[in-house]
Structure 1
Amino acid sequence: MGKKKVTAVFDIGKTNKKFFLFDENYEEVHREYRQFKNKVDEENHPCEDIEELQVWLKSVFENTINLNNYDVQALNFSTYGASFVHLDEHGDPLLPMYNYTKPIPEEVTKGFFAKYGPKEQLLALTGSDDAGLLNSGMQLYWLKHYKPEIFKKIKVSLHLPQYISYVFTGVPVSEYTSLGSHTLLWNYQKKDYHDWVYKEGFHKILAPLVPSETSINMNYNGNRIKVGVGIHDSSAALLPYIRGAKEKFVLVSTGTWSIAFNPFVDGNLSEQDIKNDCINYMRINGKPVKASRIFLGNEYKLQIDFLNKHFGVEKDRHKKVKFDFDTFFEINKDFVHLFRWQSFSDENMPDKTEIPYNTFEHAYHHLMIELTMIQVKIIKRVMDDKIIDNLYIDGGFTDNDIYVKLLAHYLKNTQVMTTDSALGSSIGAAIAISDQKLNSKFLSKNYALKKHVPFVIK
């Protein structure tokens, strides 16, 4: 028996660091998981330990190359975005990899928009929201103006996916999906860096820009391997749907954040879109993906804790509740908003949560109706008033019977489908580096695609 041909992928999340081998049909044949303790930066804010990460990346890959049963043809990387690694003249990291949750002084962002605004216009052109270090361009501005001595020593700044590619190739590049996802750097109208990037001279420290499918042929310990340039994880997770779906769709990726993606938009974001909290991610071909997000999973967790205490039930009770039509009908008859949200605000929410029900099941149904109504608003924001025929839902909420049935009910003109792939961004990274076309059965076969019909009002 010859060695099995595989594509290797590192999928680097903030918590879990994963390594996969996929065969030629994108079936997983091997995986490894690791978690690392955070380091802290000079202001004691937690940040990724990139030195330890680099050691792990190299050792895992070298062990794999030496296995007798796999022939690694290609290697690619999918990681979280909004994170820069700044290299000095020797190609070594110069600074900690600042966490995008790190607060920066308000004067930094105020000064930036005073200089380069009007703010709404700039945000619309760059498909970004005003989000501190979540806009990686803001990090460069902060370093240049508030840490000038250290900034002068930066030779090149790489987004995390491209830094990990650089660990293996030694070739510094920039790539569309990392540059274009809510960074403030990219002007979607001009399809180039925004003017402010040139005025600040940042184009000189951003590596040459290459398409996301680019690969670098390496001789790795005597093995010819195609090494990818890395891809932003949200764009990677979208790619199997773009390549595998026949018709236009919106994807709702659910978890701590619930993000609705529409990769089929014609124009740029408007200032109204920015007011509605829409942002752009980027497809691997440089086209915009209109997105809107809500902290739904986080809010769900907080409200479940509240209901568990209120009714004195065990913490996993919510997992057992299935959709009940009569309960829905009863709540819907004289519907009022009951829940005050903690992670976001909504014009309909009361000043205080009051629960009029005596059973957990009733209160839980009511919670899910309210959360799903908010989810529908988020989906409609990215649909641009067009009816899009297909809606895919992936992530944690696909297991929530009430959420799925209510979405199918509220979006009757749209075919609602759930998919099951915990490996979405990893498979996306493998697809990005492959020349292979996906066949029409790919999603139903690899993603356990399931269609949901709206329930019938009795």
Structure 2
Amino acid sequence: MKVAVLDVGKTNVKAVIVDVAAGRELAARTKPNKVLTDGPYPHFDVDGIFGFFIESLRELHAEHGFEAISITAHGASGALLGEDDLALPVLDYEFRYPAEIEEAYDAMRPPFSETFSPRLPGGLNLGAQFHYQRRAFPEAFRQVRTIVTYPQYWGWRLTGVAATDVTSLGCHTDLWLPRVGMFSSLVERLGIAGKLAQVKKPADLLGHVTGEIARALGLNKPVPVYCGIHDSNASLLPHLLQREAPFAVVSTGTWVVLFAVGGDLDHLDPARDTLANVDALGRAVPSARFMGGREFEMLTGGQGKATAEAIERVVGEGIHLTPSAMPGCGPYPHAEHRIMNAQGSLNADETYVAASLYCAFMTKTCLDLTGASGPVVVEGPFTRNTLYIEALERATGRPVIAATGSTGTSVGAALLASNLSASQVAQADAFTTSTLPDEFQRYCTEWGRLARSLPDMSAL
């Protein structure tokens, strides 16, 4: 079965054809996800993205064909629909609100013990976005008829059917109670209880593409569109089908999101960006996150590689990058990022090595905070960084598996449209390379000591 997947990441958007039986991509089209700065606030270029999707699907259908469409998108986004179109633009979750709006929101949001949503910067709590839009644009907000979560916005554009899904509602929104599977009290406080679209599971059939869309894609008949899923949960889904708990999945991209299947839900720390996500089956999963892909790109500028000489200098001299390169999130949200023990500047390769080890240690911290145990499966771009994989395996002392080949989000989203058994899901590749020197364990211990000793900048 071939499934077209629309994959809306924070950094890039993709249209992908997945051969579900083989568990791999056949073809893909990609474009940057540009944030527009015109209008009332920074917002996503949804018309540009949708035009890209239509053009890409038309080309991919002509080349490969597909039998269904599935959708995956980043969290912390939703769409406010009016009668026929958006009532307000889809807000960029990195936008920061005035202090008085933040304070009012803090006073109304439910406690972490109910929602398992930590208080996050800007609009990373979807409820905070709706509060800002309601307060800042009351007239436009009154025109809202229906609210959909972000994967379902794209499904609505394809089918005309509105919905929300449990994985997007359960993604640190403040709007959902993961333990019991129902809306939180914030929904009533925001006055949106009657506007949120029907809640569905990701694998539910949303509808079929409209006749107009079918003609634009060159289809002989409308194809089914499945409800859709939060992108990190899409990475988790194949492993839920083929593994027994406990295990952990590390989904990498702009964000590094960790799912500790069989982990500790009762001792999560909201001050350290731990939370509960909701998986494709509607179950609460202990999770943690940091903005690892953004940090790695910012630190390295996309340059460098893990040479033996660079590893020898960084590990041998104890050169450390400390948290947090992106402040305000992750397990050390208020720590001041530093370069420690560097005598002289680092070249591109040395920076690459130090950044790779930093991301591995941040991932280990997240594993520890969620009570994760068992093997660790890494999905996404960091699978290509063998130094990161080896460092994570050495630091945790348990198997780390790089799910190379297809991106986890696309394959996981494609599974929503199929009834495949777990045995038909492509297996990940075991990691075997060894490049780190014997003194790496000392280096690892020293990084943990440095991270714990950094001052909390929020208290200064």
- Whether TM exceeds 0.5 here: the answer is yes
Residue 130 (structure 2) pairs with residue 130 (structure 1)? no
Residue 361 (structure 2) pairs with residue 373 (structure 1)? yes
Residue 8 (structure 2) pairs with residue 6 (structure 1)? no
Aligned to 2:431: 450
Kept in 2, the 8 Å contact 1:239–1:428? The answer is yes
Report the number of matched residues.
Answer: 424
Q: Give the distance between the partners of 1:423 and 1:37, measured in 2 at CA.
A: 21
Kept in 1, the 8 Å contact 2:377–2:400? The answer is yes
- Map Cα deviations across residues 182-224 of structure 1 (whole Å, 9 max, x no partner): 1110012332111221243312110011111101453754525
CA gap 1:75/1:193 in 2 versus in 1, 3 angstroms? same
CA deviation after TM superposition for structure 1 residue 174, in Å: 1.0
What's the secondary structure of 1:293's corresponding residue?
Answer: strand
CA deviation after TM superposition for structure 1 residue 88, in Å: 0.9
Kept in 2, the 8 Å contact 1:47–1:98? The answer is yes
CA gap 1:104/1:110 in 2 versus in 1, 3 angstroms? same
Aligned to 1:235: 233
1:255-266 alignment runs, 5 A limit: 255-265=253-263
CA gap 1:453/1:262 in 2 versus in 1, 3 angstroms? farther
What's the secondary structure of 1:102's corresponding residue?
Answer: coil
Residue 11 (structure 2) pairs with residue 27 (structure 1)? no
Aligned to 2:74: 80
What's the secondary structure of 2:71's corresponding residue?
Answer: strand
Q: Give the distance between the partners of 2:164 and 2:321, measured in 1 at CA.
A: 47
- Map Cα deviations across residues 259-287 of structure 1 (whole Å, 9 max, x no partner): 3221334645x4x5112320222201111
- Supply the RMSD in Å over aligned alpha carbons: 3.4
Aligned to 2:449: none
1:271-310 alignment runs, 5 A limit: 273-304=269-300
Unaligned runs of 5+ in 2: 215-219, 440-460
CA gap 1:64/1:141 in 2 versus in 1, 3 angstroms? same
Residue 161 (structure 2) pairs with residue 175 (structure 1)? no
Kept in 2, the 8 Å contact 1:323–1:365? The answer is no
CA gap 1:430/1:362 in 2 versus in 1, 3 angstroms? closer
Percent identity of paired positions between Structure 1 and Structure 2: 23
Counterpart residue type for residue 365 of structure 2: K
TM-score under structure 2 length normalisation: 0.80
- Map Cα deviations across residues 137-188 of structure 1 (whole Å, 9 max, x no partner): 1122222233221111100111221010011111111111111101110012
1:38-437 alignment runs, 5 A limit: 38-43=35-40, 45-62=41-58, 64=60, 67=62, 70-89=64-83, 91-116=84-109, 122-131=111-120, 132-218=122-208, 221=214, 222-265=220-263, 267=265, 270=267, 273-304=269-300, 316=303, 318-322=304-308, 330-331=316-317, 342-344=325-327, 353-356=340-343, 372-382=360-370, 384=371, 388-412=373-397, 414-437=398-421
TM-score under structure 1 length normalisation: 0.80
CA deviation after TM superposition for structure 1 residue 133, in Å: 1.0
- Map Cα deviations across residues 314-366 of structure 1 (whole Å, 9 max, x no partner): x84x40414999768855xxx68675754345899897744137986788766
Kept in 2, the 8 Å contact 1:94–1:154? The answer is yes
CA deviation after TM superposition for structure 1 residue 440, in Å: 6.6
CA gap 1:116/1:282 in 2 versus in 1, 3 angstroms? closer
